[in-house]
Copies of this chain bind each other. A is one copy, B any other.
Amino acid sequence: LRVGIVGLGLIGGSFAKTLKKYDLASEIIGYDHNEDHQEEAMKLGIVDSIAKNTRELLGLDLIVLAIPVDAIISFLPNLVNIADDSVIMDFGSTKELISKAIPEKIRKNFILAHPMAGKEKFGPSAAVDDLYESMVVVLCDTHLNNPKALNKVETIFSTIDMRIVKMDAHEHDIHACYMSHLPHAISFALANCVMNHEDPKSIVALAAGGFRDMSRIAKSSPNMWSDIFKQNRENMLESIGIYESQIKKIKSFIENEDYDQMKEWMKKANRLHELI
């Protein structure tokens, strides 16, 4: 396969490295508007060459969009003239708006994929060749795809040891909200609580595993995450509302010294781990 990777950060870079590891690509061509990223990706051997313009991508077998979700939508017009058997795949964390924005002409060739993997670091230097192994990838609205195109990406994901889950884009955005977008909002909020304290440094000196885990994803990229919150706006507002009512609950248990009810509430939270 000749593969184009648009966006050479953690997500795109790690996918390129994974394709090489499993010998799935004969050639990988990178595209990134950030010249430092272009240079870094070449130096790190993530890609074989850098495309100078988007036309160079049109004849490739597979084009992967690993850029922020708003950028994916703006990028689509560049791809309307791909070859008939080219496959495009986006790795965005939201799906419904992207699904609606895909031009009719390339709809069959366009696979909506969300690999449920990531870490808080970003840029080409953060890319690793085992980010995706054993993780879930969600494919959305696949009934709209050319079966041959779908088969091509399913084979890739199976080969790199990912578990494929299919659902429609609307459902995906709700699920991803609870499993990823809401947790990020919560982590940013906790980090800002501490940063607004009069002496964050002396507080953070006591950080142990609990706080480290809860604040880790507050390191994530503001550009990427503000786009995600924007595209998943309705679900975010709803889930934050539901979350706020849970925070009100624990607050009122403490306020009213209702510790028996609080323990029941905690036991219910414990049960999450029968599912995970």
Instruction: Give the B-binding residues of A (Cβ under 8 A).
Output: 116-119, 135-136, 138, 165, 175-176, 178-180, 182-197, 200-220, 222-223, 225-226, 229-230, 233, 236-237, 239-244, 246-251, 253-255, 257, 259, 262-263, 265-273, 275-276
- For this chain, the copies found in one complex come to 2
Q: A240-B247, A269-B195 are in contact. Are A180 and B210 (CB under 8 A)?
A: yes
A237 surroundings in chain B (CB, below 8 A): 251, 254-255
| B251 contacts A179, C-beta separation under 8 Å | no
How far in angstroms is the closest Cβ of chain B from A192?
Answer: 5
A251 surroundings in chain B (CB, below 8 A): 237, 240-241, 244
The main secondary structure of chain A at its interface with chain B is: helix
How far in angstroms is the closest Cβ of chain B from A198?
Answer: 11
A272 surroundings in chain B (CB, below 8 A): 191, 194-195, 200, 204, 215, 218-219
| B136 contacts A209, C-beta separation under 8 Å | no
| B246 contacts A189, C-beta separation under 8 Å | yes
